């Protein structure tokens, strides 16, 4: 099977690949260049040329050597592939030392003042010192337990639905759509902003950081979902007035950028309210984002409604069900199951959009970063701040997208 | 009669509700504006704007009226949108194809690129490029020339400007070449349908688009010069480049962030589109004797495009709308200039926010209509 010729090629090829990898690694880790004697550009491209020749020599359709076959099949099917493979490997080797030394080796994390950052690398002390601000905004330090406990309560109440017995299950939708949002609102309102039950009043201007992201996206989600459902049904209604109003609503909000909606909420909205009626900026922003996201939600739910076969409608009607009965007991439960991934995506987009409230002056995490960045004591650490925030958001969004895949698999019903 | 009545009642109440809501808002707005002594109207558009825009494609200065500031700002928005759409399509198609590569490393690199950039808020990415990455660039006096003629500095990207002579003749020749290509393509299609012959359309088109404009340089009196940016000392420590075109760092950061972010979504569309073409289609095409190039061009791509275009249109729309994030890094786009500066100066909240929203709305609807038309053109015409 394996000719003697190929064995020679194999050893020669592996040797060449090894040489090229060693060359790049030495260059990258120890700043050595043992091909110095060659002219500049040849010395630069030498590892690539050697590696390509090496990969060419070890390429074969079938050799019987398991590892070699896997290697050939996955990264070495043609010359073009071989070059790309080498380029990616070299890039990784080249990128490791500078990023490692910046992020870990030369970085500082000890201490709690600017003076602690002496190295040439990242200054994680900055993140450590500002951590509470990034999480809770300008909320008073000694009251942070209120935010934490409010979140824990809301999450526990949200989980309560999972414990419902068979008998209570029929009220679950009612609980999540109406009762839960109200309770959650009251908890967050009284616990975080205080003003009653002996709790000190904290105005919404002091709210901020990541906790504000959670508050805004949580409320927008629970409010935009029922609203979206209404407009989705409206868009599929047979009544022309209802349909056109729904279409107009959905297309309008989908056609404008969120940032203009936020501007509208902060400068135009107060004009539309009665004279002596004052509405908090945060509430206005939540209303604006809810109206905006409801349009996207409606389109996702409409997709689910359209995917249901006609037979479901006909069957429900033939049982003598009216419009509302048919939708609540037959259509919506099935349609909502279909749109779980879509809803999860909408929610993901919502979470990613919340930093935008920074433009109307609410100090959410992006706003706190901007504030920390311009603090005269901590100038020049923008990079660390943005990397920190990006990592947090990345973890949240990645986890959510993976969770939505799981949900999709869990609720998949065979038809 | 009874049935008709039953249908009318809910419609009547919906309409009543909407009218009431609008009426309530209008009434309040009227009262509020009366109290504050503001009157409703668009007359302010003709007044002198008296603010400056840092970067604009048209001639603009503070003496011009508000509507001209609006045009300048709108053009800046469109510039970012067009640049972003071009760049994100290129990156997105490459990454989308790379995700289907047989090479393990390429496939996974592309997958990680998508997972990475997709899950970080766009605003943070824009901030990252603008405040962190581009701030690490050298000062104008320390910049190394790129390709000998352009300079990437902390103050922006300076590239050579093109100075044309008889530009119109050159443009006519390009239009002529495009018309020629359309004629050749129609003829080639007819030839293929009637006689089954194939013309090398691609090479003919390529040569047309190269040769015709090139001829104008030889005989049409067209000439092209490059004005290379040259460093100039403003004071002891301050340097800048004069000549050439200077792209401000805001534009670069915004375009980079927008296209890298949107490209992840386009990559997913492209991947889904190519995967959506059944294996049987390729096998059938191969079995009637088409070569791999023809399979890609005549069988796979037309079908894949039908799947790719609708979601990609959506992404283009999103990019255009997201370009309004420019306001966060002070790139003078529509939101910053018009809904920001102009609103502060005039106090005409309702008028200005409505104009801004309507502009984006019509931009979105225009792109959607254009793409719908294209989509209709390439969709399967079932017999």
| Cα→Cα distances A409→A245, A404, A406, B182, Å | 35, 9, 5, 49
CA distances from B113 to A86, A357, A394, B134 (A): 18, 27, 13, 20
Which carries the bigger pLDDT value, residue B261 or residue B337? Answer: B261
**Nearest chain B alpha carbon to A275:** B32
Q: Which member of A271, A389, A398 has the closest CB to residue B29? A: A271
Q: Does A239 touch chain B (CB under 8 A)?
A: yes
Task: List Cα–Cα distances, B133 to A102, A108, A386, B128, in angstroms.
Answer: 14, 20, 10, 6
Per-domain residue ranges for chain A?
Answer: 4-105, 126-139+202-410
Q: What is the pLDDT of residues B300-315, one digit of tens each?
A: 888 888 888 888 888 8
What's the pLDDT band for B382 if we cut at 50, 70, 90?
A: low
Q: Is the pLDDT of residue B369 over 90?
A: no
Chain A residues in contact with B109 (beta carbon < 8 A): 88
Residue A242 has pLDDT above 60, yes or no: yes
Query: Contacts for B145-154 with beta carbons within 8 Å, 24 or more apart?
Result: B149/B226, B149/B228, B149/B229, B150/B229, B150/B244, B151/B229, B151/B231, B151/B241, B153/B241, B154/B249
Is the distance from CB of B326 to CB of B250 less than 8 angstroms? yes
**pLDDT for A338 beyond 60:** yes
Q: How far is CA B80 from CA A29, A139, A359, B353, in A?
A: 40, 38, 19, 21
Mean pLDDT of chain A: 81
Q: pLDDT at position A86, please?
A: 87
Nearest C-alpha of chain B: how many angstroms from A364? 12
Q: How do residues B106-152 score in pLDDT, each as one tens digit?
A: 889 999 999 899 889 898 899 888 888 887 777 777 777 766 677 77
CB within 8 Å: B365 and A255: yes
**Residue A178 touches chain B, beta carbons under 8 Å:** no
Residue A328 neighbours by CB distance under 10 Å: 12
Q: Measured between alpha carbons, how far is A369 from B124 in angstroms, rounded to an integer?
A: 10
Q: Min CA distance, B6 vs chain A (Å)?
A: 11
Q: How many other CB atoms are there within 10 angstroms of residue A35's CB atom? A: 17
Q: Any idea what DSSP says for residue B155?
A: T
Instruction: Classify B64 as helix, strand or coil.
Output: coil
Backbone angles phi, psi at B374, to 5 degrees: -65, -40
Q: Where are the alpha helices (DSSP H) in B277-300?
A: 279-287, 292-294
How far A386 CA sits from the closest chain B CA (Å)?
6
Mean pLDDT value of segment A69-81: 80
Is residue B324 a contact partner of residue A259, using CB atoms and an 8 Å limit? Answer: yes
Q: Distance between CA atoms of B189 and B199, rounded to whole angstroms?
A: 9
pLDDT tens sequence across A281-307: 888 888 999 999 999 999 888 888 888
Q: Give residues 129 to 168 of A whose Cβ lies within 8 Å of B.
A: none
* Whole-angstrom distance, CA of residue A284 vs CA of residue A329: 34
Transcribe B229-280 into DSSP letters.
-EEEESSSS-EEEESSEEE-HHHHHHHHHHHHHHHHHHHHHHHHHHHHS-HH
**The predicted structure's pLDDT at residue A1:** 52
Taking contacts as CB-CB distances below 8 angstroms, the residues of chain A near B7 are 238-239
Cα B267 from Cα A373, distance rounded (Å): 34
Gap from B132 CA to chain A (nearest CA, Å): 5
Reading the block at residue A279, the tokens are: 């509405």
Residue A198 has pLDDT above 70, yes or no: no
Q: How far is B342 from chain A (nearest CA, A)?
A: 13
What's the pLDDT score for residue B160?
A: 77
What's the pLDDT score for residue A349?
87
Contact B127 A259 (CB under 8 A): no
Give me the residue from A77, A242, A256 closest to B102, CB to CB.
A77
C-alpha of A136 from chain center: 20
Under an 8 A CB cutoff, do B35 and A255 touch?
Answer: no
Check CB contact under 8 Å for B324 and A259: yes
Q: Which of residues 39-78 of A touch B (CB under 8 A)?
A: 73-75, 77
Compute φ and ψ for A364, nearest 5 degrees. -80, -175
Q: What is the pLDDT of residues B31-83, one digit of tens each?
A: 887 877 777 777 777 777 777 777 777 777 777 788 888 888 899 889 999 99
Above 50 in pLDDT, residue A415? no
Minimal-distance CA residue of chain B relative to A76: B103
Q: Chain B: nearest CA to A66, how far in angstroms?
A: 16
A252 touches chain B (CB under 8 A): yes
Confidence of residue B90 (pLDDT cuts 50, 70, 90): very high
Collapse the DSSP code of A99 into the 3-class scheme (helix H, G, I; strand E, B; otherwise coil) and give the result. Answer: helix
Name the closest residue on chain B to residue A358, using Cα atoms: B328
B147 Ramachandran zone, left/alpha/beta (phi>0; psi -120 to 50): left
Are the CB atoms for A385 and A393 separated by under 8 Å? no
Judge if pTM exceeds 0.80: yes
Are the Cβ atoms of B364 and A256 closer than 8 angstroms? yes
Cα separation, B144 vs B150, whole angstroms? 9
The span from the CA of A359 to the CA of B335, in Å, is 11
Identify the pLDDT of residue A35: 67
Mean pLDDT for the stretch of residues A255-266: 87
Which of the four pLDDT bands, split at 50, 70 and 90, describes residue B85?
very high
Torsion over CA of A126, A130, A134 and A138, rounded to 10 degrees?
A: -150
Mean pLDDT value of segment B332-361: 84
Model confidence pLDDT, tens digit, residues A150-197: 788 888 877 777 776 777 777 777 777 777 878 888 887 777 776 667
Is the pLDDT confidence value at B317 over 50? yes
pLDDT in tens, A8-63: 888 888 888 888 888 888 877 777 776 666 666 777 778 888 888 888 888 777 77
Residue for token pair 């409606």: A298
A228 — contact with chain B (CB < 8 Å)? no
Q: How far apart are the first and last CA of chain A?
A: 51
Contact residues, A window 193-222, toward B, CB-based 8 Å cutoff? none
Tell me how far apart the alpha carbons of residues A305 and A334 are, in angstroms, rounded to a whole number: 8
Q: Give the confidence band of B87 by pLDDT, cuts at 50, 70, 90.
A: very high
Closest C-alpha among B179, B181, B164 to residue B216: B164
Structure tokens at B12: 């009547």
- Work out the average pLDDT over B12-20: 88
Which residues in chain B are contacts of A80 at CB distance < 8 A?
Answer: none
Non-local CB neighbours of B168 within 8 Å, separated by 6+ positions: none
Q: Given strand B145-146, what is the order of strands in its sheet?
A: B145-146, B150-153, B156-159, B245-247
* CB contact (8 A) between residue A84 and residue B349: no
Q: Do B11 and A271 touch (CB under 8 A)?
A: no
CB contact under 8 A, B120 and A358: no
Whether A271 and B350 lie within 8 Å, measured CB to CB? yes
Residues of B in contact with A264 (CB under 8 A): 353, 357
In which residue are the tokens 């090496």 written?
A54
More confident residue, A276 or B207: B207
CATH T-level assignment (fold) for domain A126-139+202-410: MetI-like fold (1.10.3720)
CB-based burial, A235-260: b 16+ in 10 Å, e otherwise: bbbeeebbbebbeebbbebbbbbbbb
- Measured CA to CA, the distance from residue B186 to residue B207 in angstroms comes to 17
Here the tokens at position A105 are: 């080796």
Residue of B nearest to A373 (CA): B131
Task: Give the integer Cα–Cα distance in Å for B228 and B145.
Answer: 11
* Long-range own/partner contacts, residues A281-286 (CB < 8 A, 24 or more apart): A281/A204, A281/A205, A281/A360, A281/A361, A281/A362, A282/A204, A282/A207, A282/A216, A282/A362, A285/A216, A285/A357, A285/A360, A285/A362, A286/A216, A286/A219, A286/A220, A286/A223
Percent pLDDT > 70 in chain B is 97
Distance from CA of A276 to the nearest CA of B (A): 10
Judge whether A149 and A191 are in contact, CB under 8 Å: yes
pLDDT of residue A291: 92
């Amino acid at each position: 099977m394996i000719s003697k010729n190929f064995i020679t090629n194999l050893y020669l090829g592996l040797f060449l690949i090894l040489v090229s990898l060693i060359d790049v690694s030495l260059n990258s880790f120890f700043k050595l260049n043992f091909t110095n004697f060659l002219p500049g550009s040849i010395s630069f491209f030498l590892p690539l040329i050697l590696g390509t020749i090496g990969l060419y020599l070890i390429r074969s359709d079938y050799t019987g050597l398991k590892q070699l076959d896997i290697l050939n099949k996955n990264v070495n099917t043609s010359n073009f592939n071989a070059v790309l493979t080498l380029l990616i490997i070299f890039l990784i080797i080249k990128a490791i030392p500078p990023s490692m030394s910046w992020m870990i080796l030369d970085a500082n994390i000890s201490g709690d003042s600017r003076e602690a950052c002496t190295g040439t690398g990242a200054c994680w002390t900055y993140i450590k010192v500002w951590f509470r601000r990034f999480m809770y905004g300008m909320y008073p330090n000694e009251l942070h337990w209120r935010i934490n406990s409010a979140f824990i309560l809301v999450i526990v109440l949200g989980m309560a639905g999972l414990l419902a017995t068979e008998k209570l299950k029929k009220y679950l939708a009612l609980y999540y759509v109406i009762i839960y949002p109200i309770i959650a609102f009251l908890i967050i309102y009284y616990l975080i902003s205080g003003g009653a039950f002996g709790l000190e009043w904290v105005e919404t201007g002091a709210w901020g950081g990541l906790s504000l992201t959670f508050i805004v996206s949580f409320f927008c989600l629970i409010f935009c979902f029922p609203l979206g459902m209404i407009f989705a049904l409206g868009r599929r209604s047979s009544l022309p007035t209802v349909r056109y109003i729904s279409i107009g609503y959905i297309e309008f909000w989908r056609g404008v950028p969120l940032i203009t909606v936020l501007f509208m909420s902060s400068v135009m909205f107060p004009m539309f309210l009665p004279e002596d009626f004052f509405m908090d900026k945060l509430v206005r922003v939540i209303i604006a984002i809810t109206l905006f996201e409801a349009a996207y939600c409606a389109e996702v739910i409409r997709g689910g409604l359209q995917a249901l076969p006609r037979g479901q409608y006909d069957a429900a009607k033939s049982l003598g069900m009216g419009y509302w009965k048919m939708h609540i007991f037959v259509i919506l439960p099935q349609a909502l199951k279909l749109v779980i991934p879509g809803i999860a995506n909408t929610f993901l987009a919502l979470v990613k959009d919340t930093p935008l409230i920074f433009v109307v002056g609410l100090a959410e995490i992006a706003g706190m970063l901007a504030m920390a960045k311009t603090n005269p004591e901590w100038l020049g650490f923008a990079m660390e701040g943005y990397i920190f925030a990006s990592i947090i958001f990345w973890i949240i969004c990645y986890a959510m997208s993976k969770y939505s895949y799981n949900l999709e698999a869990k609720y998949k019903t065979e038809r | 009669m009874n049935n008709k009545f039953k249908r009318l009642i809910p419609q009547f109440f919906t309409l009543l509700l909407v009218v009431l809501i609008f009426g309530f808002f209008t009434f309040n707005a009227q009262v509020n504006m009366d109290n504050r002594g503001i009157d409703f109207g668009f007359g302010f558009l003709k007044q002198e704007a008296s603010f400056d825009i840092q970067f604009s494609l048209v001639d603009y200065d503070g003496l011009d009226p508000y509507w001209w500031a609006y045009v300048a700002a709108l053009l800046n928005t469109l510039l970012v949108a067009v640049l972003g759409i071009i760049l994100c399509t290129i990156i997105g198609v490459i990454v989308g194809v790379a995700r289907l590569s047989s090479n393990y490393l390429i496939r996974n690199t592309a997958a990680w690129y998508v997972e990475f950039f997709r899950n970080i808020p766009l605003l943070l990415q824009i901030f990252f490029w603008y405040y962190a990455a581009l701030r690490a660039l050298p000062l104008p006096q320390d910049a190394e020339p790129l390709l000998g003629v352009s300079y990437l500095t902390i103050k922006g990207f300076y590239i050579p400007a093109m100075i044309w002579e008889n530009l119109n003749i050159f443009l006519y020749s390009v239009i002529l070449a495009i018309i020629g290509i359309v004629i050749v393509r129609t003829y080639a299609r007819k030839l293929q349908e009637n006689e089954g012959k194939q013309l090398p359309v691609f090479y003919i088109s390529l040569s047309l688009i190269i040769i015709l404009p090139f001829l104008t340089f030889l005989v049409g009196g067209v000439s092209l010069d490059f004005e290379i940016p040259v460093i100039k000392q403003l004071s002891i420590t301050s340097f800048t480049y004069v000549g050439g075109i200077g792209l401000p760092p805001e534009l670069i950061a915004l375009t980079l962030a927008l296209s890298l972010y949107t490209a992840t979504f386009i990559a997913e569309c492209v991947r889904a589109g190519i995967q959506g073409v059944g294996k049987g289609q390729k096998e059938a095409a191969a079995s009637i004797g088409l070569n791999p190039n023809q399979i890609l061009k005549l069988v796979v791509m037309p079908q894949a495009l039908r799947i790719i275009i609708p979601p990609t249109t959506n992404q283009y729309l999103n990019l255009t709308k997201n370009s309004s994030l420019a306001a966060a890094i002070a790139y003078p786009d529509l939101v910053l200039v018009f809904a920001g500066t102009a609103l502060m100066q005039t106090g005409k909240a309702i008028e200005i926010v409505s104009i801004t929203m309507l502009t984006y709305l019509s931009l979105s609807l225009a792109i959607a209509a254009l793409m719908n038309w294209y989509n209709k053109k390439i969709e399967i015409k079932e017999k």
